[in-house]
Amino acid sequence: MSKKKNKQNKVRTEFRKNYDSRRRKNDFTKEFGDGDKNLDDLASQERVSGKGRWTRKRTISGDHSDETQSGFDVTLQVDANAAIEGRVLRVHGLSTIIHTAQGEFECSIRGLLKSLATDLQNVVVAGDWVRVVPAAENQAVVVRVESRRNFINRTSRGRQQVIASNIDLALIVASVQEPALKPNLIDRFLIAAEKANIQPIIVLNKVDLIDPATIQPLIGVWGQLGYPIVSVSAATGLGIERLRELVAGRDSVATGQSGVGKSSLLNAIDPTLKRRVGHVSDDNSKGRHTTTTAELIPWIGGGHIIDTPGIRQFQLWDVIPEEVEGYFRDLRPFTHQCRYPDCTHSHEEDCAVKDAVADGWIDVRRYDGFLQIRSGE
Ligand SMILES: Nc1nc2c(ncn2[C@@H]2O[C@H](COP(=O)(O)OP(=O)(O)O)[C@@H](O)[C@H]2O)c(=O)[nH]1
Ligand SMILES: [Mg+2]
Ligand SMILES: [Zn+2]
């Protein structure tokens, strides 16, 4: 606890010191992207990122995803010295619920958007660290949004949607049946996690419904690529203890299509949660708000899980076709051996990737998935 206090004081001092300096922050995420991806690094980078490197405003004009990464201060008529640290639990329309040491507050995002003079989406998302000044009962004003250590995003109606931020682990949840396993969807989530420098874990749920031997070949392919993968059943409890150990004390995001058992798994890991099961998403019934409402939930044993209901389809954001092969670990050893340097590995002659598929070095299903993602489907 005293450790926590120290950190807060430090941040507060930094906050005062930098409030008017309006320095530009280094591109933290880029620098991070070059580094080692192990979990310890993820954790230590978080500590570094909290220290005084921030910018007054996000870059709004650029078309690059940087705009969702830099911290910024908000110019509002409140006593910024009274600000306390908080974390965004969830965002509902123009209101956001923020957890602080003094309890939960509801904050309006309207003020934030006004301050930024933009209709920028994703101004705050579940997992964001912020500073707020408590106002009326249960109401507070956001005066600062900290830089995001990392974030997971997708394309939604042609625009970027940031789903959640400041994450250690991405639990890519799929069910082996009901709904049927969609390996290509898992590959998409793997790319999104890799791009965001978030350690992925593939979680195959509902193994009680099948003979485990039937999914071994599939598991083997991802396993050989070095992706951690666990077979579980929320219904029987199989594999839950292992999962509980993996998520303990960390901040994870659970992704996966509706119905695969995300809420059931959360309940199995932490029975105090009592998440609603078999309930399809938070989507507005009129279908206007098809955006995902992610929610940051504390585990009873420490750490958090971000539940992301309602992701039916996962379109990657800001991945150009030429970039896709770089995210396929199994293709990478071959892509530089093709005859044409700009080979798309689809129709070309003397394509080392196609040869590797024919020779059994690359799994056919992974190759098909690569072609699908590369073509922008
Ligand atoms: N047989 C079986 N059914 C499960 C399992 N986990 C979840 N379900 C069922 O799958 C349905 C969807 O579960 P839910 O947790 O709401 O999925 P979510 O949409 O991903 O949160 C519910 O009817 C659950 O009872 C499992 O391990 N085995
Ligand atoms: Mg659910
Ligand atoms: Zn090729």
115 and 185 assigned to the same domain:
no
pLDDT of residue 4: 43
| Same domain for 301 and 184 | yes
pLDDT at 279 (0 to 100): 66
Residue identified by tokens 């600062």 is: 144
Nearest residue (by CA) to ligand 1, atom 26, is 206
Name the DSSP letter for residue 272: T
Per-residue pLDDT at 301: 87
Domain region containing 178 = 151-307
Query: Whose C-alpha lies nearest to ligand 1, atom 14?
Result: 261
Phi-psi region of 216 (alpha: psi -120 to 50; beta: other; left: phi over 0): alpha
> 144-175 burial, b for 16+ CB within 10 Å, e for fewer?
bbbbbbbbbbbebeeeebbbbbbbbbbbbbbb
| 205 and 300, same domain (yes or no) | yes
Residue entry with tokens 């306390």: 84
Do residues 269 and 301 make contact, with C-beta atoms less than 8 angstroms apart?
A: no
Identify whether 315 is part of a domain.
Answer: no
d(CA 228, CA 204): 11
Out of 145, 162, 181, a domain closes at: 145
Nearest Cα to 112, choosing from 137, 89, 136, 95? 95
Asked if residue 260 and residue 175 are part of one domain, the reply reads yes
Is position 314 within any domain? no
Task: HSE, CB side, 13 Å, CA atoms: give it for residue 371.
Answer: 12
Whether residues 169 and 297 share a domain: the answer is yes
- 3-state class (DSSP) for residue 149: coil
pLDDT value for 7: 40
Whether residue 174 is found in the same domain as residue 221: yes
Q: What ligand 1 atom has the least distance to the C-alpha of 307?
A: 21
- Predicted confidence at residue 119, as pLDDT, reads 44
The pLDDT value recorded for residue 136 is 81
Q: What is the structure's pLDDT at 239?
A: 97
Q: Which of 257, 277, 280, 311 to mutate to test the pocket of ligand 1 (most atoms within 8 A of CB)?
A: 277
Does residue 296 share a domain with residue 155?
yes
d(CA 265, ligand 2 centre) in Å: 9
362 and 273, same structural domain?
A: no
Residues of the chain falling short of pLDDT 70: 1-78, 110-121, 279-292, 310-312
238 and 366 belong to one structural domain:
no
pLDDT for residue 319? 85
Q: Are residues 264 and 171 in the same domain?
A: yes
Beta bridge partners of 214: none
Residues having CB closer than 6 A to ligand 1 are 205-206, 208-209, 233-235, 258-264, 277-279
Which DSSP category does 315 fall into? Answer: B
**Closest approach atom of ligand 1 to CA 278:** 16
**Domain end (from 145, 170, 194):** 145
CATH number of the domain enclosing 91: 2.40.50.140
Q: According to the model, what pLDDT value does residue 143 have?
A: 85
Query: Is 138 in the same domain as 160?
Result: no
Which two tokens mark 101? 């040491």
284 and 187 in a common domain: yes
* pTM of the complete model: 0.78
pLDDT at res. 33: 30
Number of structural domains (the chain) is 3
Q: Which of 118, 145, 172 is the last residue of a domain?
A: 145
Strand 304-307 versus strand 251-255 pairing type: parallel
Q: What is the dihedral of CA 165, 98, 257, 275, to 10 degrees?
A: 140
